[in-house]
């Protein structure tokens, strides 16, 4: 291969399609604050996600923070250390103590068997992550939350387009936070959304993303600014019609990876669509390099880099090991042995729209060579 292969490459729509929306911004002279494109995009997203309520926000991180503030979450929140930094920071930035629940060995999502043992009188919510688009054990989490009167905010940043028994991923929990960052499956350059079913939340989330303002003379919450603007909405409108095509293309690349890597010893990957009723989105291609592989994750990562294949160690380090957290007393006592082990052995391979099966084959050949196969 002539060029560097990165872990992802952002999807771009036909430029003409995007520019037609941009022309409308010039016509309306409306740049932000619930403009016409924002409203159109919100409507189209609602139908795509089959969700009754959608609040658009400036990015996925602020979707999490607005859900936290809007739902009055405080004290302690049970979450997973095996995630992107944003999940944990969204809690700490709101003076909430993240309490770490270990993950499952098979799909790397929160282990529901361990949740109840972590609940204290300060616990107000659970924040699980549909990591890599692998759906959490939503039924068990819901039952635990009901029993203990806890809110559930899903970090659904990886799970756009995922369904279970025909039900959209956004329909689980009190709210689900999506990210539409450039590197995500679906992008609005930067962007995000909250999806939820309680009509009362709409007013609250809308105020929190706009300085807590509810009317010209009513400022009801201490809120920041997290509004999605018209250019982001234009990108969303231009990209949304490509979703099925994007998912189909990534599916064929994923199947090729599985075909070529599946027989190698010690290379483990989880196959979500083999779970009854799951429609997966092929957002990432994580592999776990287990003992039998005879090569370490770090060596594989370095050797691929030498071949100009830039895989990423998503998610290493895990949250308890971050420089900014590891010295906190309660981080030192947080135990998540499975997450630690997975963090030390996971590697996310390049996967993006239109990468081509020849590129997948090229990467797999290099992996085989490094493993001495
Ligand atoms: C990307 C991501 C976020 C943050 O989303 P942004 O749109 O980048 O702010 C939060 N959580 C997870 C798991 C993510 O991958």
From the CA of 83, give the closest atom in ligand 1. 13
Q: What is the pLDDT of residue 1?
A: 66
pLDDT tens digits for the chain (373 residues)? 678 999 999 999 999 999 999 999 999 999 999 999 999 999 999 999 999 999 999 999 999 999 999 999 999 999 999 999 999 999 999 999 999 999 999 999 999 999 999 999 999 999 999 999 999 999 999 999 999 999 999 999 999 999 999 999 999 999 999 999 999 999 999 999 999 999 999 999 999 999 999 999 999 999 999 999 999 999 999 999 999 999 999 999 999 999 999 999 999 999 999 999 999 999 999 999 999 999 999 999 999 999 999 999 999 999 999 999 988 888 888 889 999 999 999 999 999 999 999 999 999 999 999 999 8
pTM over 0.85: yes
d(CA 278, CA 51) in angstroms, rounded, equals 18
State which ligand 1 atom lies nearest to the alpha carbon of 59: 7
Q: Which atom of ligand 1 is nearest to the CA of 64?
A: 10
Segments of 4-92 assigned E as strands: 5-6, 53-57, 76-79
Q: Which of 238, 254, 281 is nearest to 349 (CA)?
A: 254
pLDDT at site 2: 72
Contact present, 136 and 128 (Cβ < 8 Å): yes
Q: Are 261 and 269 in contact (CB under 8 A)?
A: yes
- As given in the structure block, the two tokens for residue 57 are 């926000």
The two structure tokens encoding residue 44? 């189209």
Range list of H helices, the chain: 15-28, 36-49, 60-70, 85-92, 138-148, 200-208, 230-239, 243-261, 297-306, 329-333, 337-345, 357-370
Q: Which residues line ligand 1 (CB under 6 A)?
A: 59-61, 83-84, 86-87, 129, 155, 157-158, 179, 181, 192
């Amino acid at each position: 291969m002539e060029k560097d292969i990165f872990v992802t490459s952002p999807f771009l729509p036909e430029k003409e399609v995007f520019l037609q929306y941009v022309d409308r911004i010039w016509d309306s002279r409306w740049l932000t604050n619930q403009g016409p494109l924002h409203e159109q995009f919100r409507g189209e997203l609602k139908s795509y996600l089959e969700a009754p309520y959608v609040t658009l926000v400036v990015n996925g991180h602020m979707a999490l923070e607005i859900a936290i503030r809007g739902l009055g979450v405080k004290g302690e929140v049970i979450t997973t250390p095996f995630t992107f930094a944003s999940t944990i920071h969204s809690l700490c930035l709101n003076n909430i103590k993240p309490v770490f629940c270990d993950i499952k060995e098979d799909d790397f999502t929160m282990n529901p068997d361990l949740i109840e043992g972590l609940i204290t009188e300060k616990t107000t919510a659970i924040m699980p992550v549909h990591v890599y688009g692998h759906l959490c054990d939503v039924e068990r989490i819901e039952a635990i939350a009901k029993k203990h009167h806890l809110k559930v905010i899903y970090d659904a940043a990886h799970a756009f387009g995922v369904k279970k028994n025909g039900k959209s991923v956004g329909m689980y929990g009190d709210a689900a936070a999506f990210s539409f960052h450039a590197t995500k499956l679906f992008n609005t350059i930067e962007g995000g959304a909250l999806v939820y079913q309680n009509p009362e939340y709409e007013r609250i989330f809308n105020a929190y993303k706009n300085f807590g303002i509810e009317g010209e003379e009513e400022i009801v919450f201490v809120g920041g600014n997290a509004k999605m603007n018209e250019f982001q909405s234009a990108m969303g409108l231009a990209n949304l019609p490509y979703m099925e095509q994007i998912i189909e293309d990534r599916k064929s690349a994923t199947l090729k990876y599985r075909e070529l890597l599946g027989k190698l010893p010690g290379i483990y990957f989880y196959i979500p669509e083999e779970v009854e009723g799951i429609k997966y989105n092929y957002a990432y291609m994580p592999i776990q390099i287990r003992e039998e592989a005879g090569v370490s994750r770090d060596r594989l990562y370095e050797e691929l880099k030498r071949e100009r294949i830039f895989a990423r160690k998503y998610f290493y380090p895990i949250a308890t090991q971050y420089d900014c957290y590891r010295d906190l007393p309660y981080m030192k006592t947080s135990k998540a042995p499975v997450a630690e082990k997975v963090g030390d052995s996971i590697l996310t391979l390049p996967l993006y729209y239109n990468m081509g099966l020849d590129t997948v084959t090229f990467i797999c050949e290099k992996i085989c060579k490094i493993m001495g196969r």
